[in-house]
Structure 1
Amino acid sequence: MKLINIFSLFFYQIILHDLCSLASSSLSEKRKHLDRIIVVVRHGDRAPLFPFAFDRDRMNELWPNGYGYLTSEGRTRMYRIGQFLRRRYSYQFPGRYISPRDVYIRSSTIPRCLESSQLIAAGLSPPIGVWQWKSDIGELWQPVPIFTVQRWREALLNPSSNCELAFRLFERIRNSPVVKNYLLLHQEIIQNISCITHENLRDHREIREFVDNLVSSKHHGRRLPKWCTANVYNQLKEIFDISLRFDYTGEIEPELRRLRAGVLMNEIFKGLDPDIDPYRSRLSIYVTHDSQLLHLRDALGLDMNSVSLMFGSMLMFEYNKQEDSVHLYSANVPGPMDRITAEELKIPVCEKNLTRIPLGYLQTKYKHLFLDLDEFDRQCGNSNDGKQPMDPYL
């Protein structure tokens, strides 16, 4: 009973916080009919992926949920994102209720994405009426299917899935003149940090993994090491952001756009079309990583200057068949309890950067990027007889 009370208190506190914004956010939405809705979202706030070698014992105490797993802030954020999606889209469904049968949720197989998927589902589809299956907990939560596949075969949502060609291109980025010249410009601070911490930071990826720890600690209000002054942190954060841009856009290796975003692009633009798959769920949610979202934004041609995506960042594709119009929205939420709002994006495939574009036009414009899984394997040169090395950044 105590567990149920704690569970209830967690949900009710979040619900009460959102009541003030419920009316304004729902009334502001245009009540247009949507035939298909596709949401691609980054997982919630997480702990660092690795402990600092020089401070391992203290780090273990600071992150009791485990490295790379969702924190309490991340759980709160993803539950509220589910509530946001319910407010935004429930009017599209009978009885203004999104049931577990109305939504398809696909997740990267990494635990923080699976956890995020469950929390989104809990906020999106609380049990009401016939969906309540038991007193106490059955009035607050119900099971919603979450779909995933093995990590090494997850070309849809995991940019480190098995692709021999992409691995070679990824390695070429590490040794490219662009990356080497950039690191030379920041050689002094890299060497100083390596000396202070006794970390061997040899390339931009090792630097990124190291700085990720600082970024996660600062994000969660943890005390940073004394040597990490505001000036040092800002310099390292800049290297961190540029490192993401090197690896997870086609800026250096344009072919990565198709290899790492093509399967997801194919899924989105075929999934938006009711004529291709009339039995598909009207609402589909894909839970992934910032690296995959970066690949997707880059493939769509969106502005990549603000390359660091916050936890819970979303792209929302909405399609109205009668108007034959696709609208694209972005949501980037600063904090777990901040109000969530959506900004409509201009789709950069026309000279005028229109916000409303026919689906067929977009399918034609992006067709050169589309890959199904068979074509993905063929272009990657995959033998499918082994698993890829694990990318620690994911």
Structure 2
Amino acid sequence: MFYRIPSLGGLSPFVSLLSLALLAHNIDAASSGVINYGGDVPIGSKLVQVHVIYRHGDRNPKSPYPKSHYHDLKSWPGGWGELTDTGILQQIKLGILLKALYGPQNYGLLPEEFNVKIYKSVTTDVDRTIMSLIANQAGLWRSLKGKGIHEPDVQWNPTPFRVIADNKYDTIFGQNCSKAEKLVDMFRDERFEQLKNENLQLFQYAQENSGYEIMTHPTQICWLYDTLTVELLRKGIIPEWANALYPEPLESFLMEYLKAGSLTEEMRRLTGGPLLKTIITAMKNLTMGKDTIKMYAYSAHETSIYDVLAALCSPPKKPPGYTATLLFELFQYQNSFFLRILYRPGPDQTAFPMKIPGCGEQYICSLKKFEEITQHVLPKDLVAECTV
């Protein structure tokens, strides 16, 4: 846990949530139990850059199943798929944790105040990732005494970010890659038709009780998992009939859905490859004195987290939770540069270092070696490779 959330009192919800960024700025990341400092980093090494990929926070269902008791928007203030107050708080807490870990009191990578030459952030063009980034930066770049905006209920400074449009020219997240979408849809359709035939009674049961057209569109069984998860988190209960399906086998079906983006080398290059290439390029630029940015942040989705890990041949065993986070840390030791990768599966969970396949199963890997072992999943010309 990070800290206990106090009552919001009479303050307006959005302002109050952002103001909470100030409540735990002295948090000790090591003692909080949310960072595992393992990873064989040589004594005397200096952290010089970090890349943070995080999933958005808690959200409303993207769509209700037709027979849901909570099938209308009155049950979900804000709208379908939108970030919730809980999601805002989760991201504020994550921002606070990042400052505690990488700020002056720990690694010293980030200054106390925002600096455009030190920090850069981007997000996909979706409301919940945009709002997540804003909330995260409220926790990361808290307002300092005597500076910024200090209205009675607002102690927060706006910080810039970039929204990456969902079009074929997105080389950061690789959104709207026609070839990837075609391949993923094909594999998902084939796999879920197979799963339906292997679990015919179960799929029929799910359709009869949910109202989804699962027998005609088998992948909709993953929508059911998603909505049931949100109902359980937000309403505290799911229908009795769903206990035969949730969390298993629905969670396993969702994992099959996520796997579809990484079944072949070409798919890994088109899905997880763009973000991985973005990170490696920025790290190389820093080592050559062409970049001053110390932290890059990417507000994205569970598929983003899964695809990057899959591109590294380390796919997660469970679906990435809200605020699931990947940290790519670049260290300098004398004249050498190496990196470490940490993964935090969800809110209030420990971030742990990952062994890097292809690098001797070590927790650290030289930047040069890392680029070599990932070369096959880094797109050369994404726009051209995405053309169907």
* TM tier, smaller: 0.7 to 0.9
Secondary structure at 1:239's aligned position in 2? Answer: helix
Aligned 8 A contact 2:212 2:220 in 1: no
Moved more, 84-93 or 114-123: 84-93
The equivalent residue for 1:343 is 352
The equivalent residue for 1:389 is none
The equivalent residue for 1:279 is 291
Distance in 2, matches of 1:93 and 1:222, equals 41
The equivalent residue for 1:294 is 306
Aligned 8 A contact 1:157 1:287 in 2: no
Give 1:54 deviation, angstroms.
Answer: 2.7
Give 1:96 deviation, angstroms.
Answer: 4.5
Moved more, 65-74 or 318-327: 318-327
One of 59, 64, 84 as aligned partner of 1:71: 84
One of 118, 122, 128 as aligned partner of 2:138: 122
Distance 1:316 1:165, change over 3 A: same
Instruction: Pick the structure with more strand per residue.
Output: 2
Distance in 2, matches of 1:25 and 1:280, equals 30
Distance in 2, matches of 1:17 and 1:124, equals 11
Aligned 8 A contact 1:244 1:307 in 2: no
In structure 1, runs of 5+ residues without a counterpart are 383-394
The equivalent residue for 2:152 is 136
Per-residue deviation, residues 16-59 of structure 1 (Å, max 9, x unmatched): 57867557249986995211111111111111101222347654
Distance in 1, matches of 2:354 and 2:93, equals 22
Distance in 1, matches of 2:204 and 2:101, equals 49
Secondary structure at 2:167's aligned position in 1? Answer: helix
Give 1:216 deviation, angstroms.
Answer: 1.5
Aligned 8 A contact 2:47 2:329 in 1: yes
Distance 1:119 1:10, change over 3 A: closer
Distance in 1, matches of 2:387 and 2:208, equals 41
Percent identity over the alignment is: 19
The equivalent residue for 2:4 is none
Distance 1:128 1:95, change over 3 A: farther
Distance 1:167 1:312, change over 3 A: same
Distance in 2, matches of 1:277 and 1:359, equals 15
1:354 equivalent to 2:362? Answer yes
Distance in 2, matches of 1:328 and 1:263, equals 17
Per-residue deviation, residues 297-317 of structure 1 (Å, max 9, x unmatched): 00011144x141111111101
Distance 1:218 1:83, change over 3 A: same
TM-score w.r.t. length of structure 1: 0.83
The equivalent residue for 1:145 is 160
1:368 equivalent to 2:380? Answer no
Give 1:191 deviation, angstroms.
Answer: 0.8
Secondary structure at 1:320's aligned position in 2? Answer: strand
Distance 1:321 1:235, change over 3 A: same
The equivalent residue for 2:248 is 234
Calculate the aligned-residue CA RMSD, in Å: 3.0
Give 1:122 deviation, angstroms.
Answer: 0.2
Per-residue deviation, residues 274-293 of structure 1 (Å, max 9, x unmatched): 13562341111111111111
The equivalent residue for 2:225 is 211
Distance 1:110 1:94, change over 3 A: closer
Distance in 2, matches of 1:243 and 1:360, equals 33
Give 1:155 deviation, angstroms.
Answer: 3.7
Give 1:156 deviation, angstroms.
Answer: 4.6
Moved more, 194-203 or 94-103: 94-103
Give 1:108 deviation, angstroms.
Answer: 0.7
In structure 2, runs of 5+ residues without a counterpart are 1-8
The one-letter code of the counterpart of 2:387 is G
Distance 1:21 1:61, change over 3 A: farther
Secondary structure at 2:363's aligned position in 1? Answer: coil
Instruction: Pick the structure with more helix per residue.
Output: 1
Moved more, 164-173 or 29-38: 29-38
How many residues get paired? 367
Distance in 2, matches of 1:95 and 1:182, equals 48
The equivalent residue for 2:31 is 24
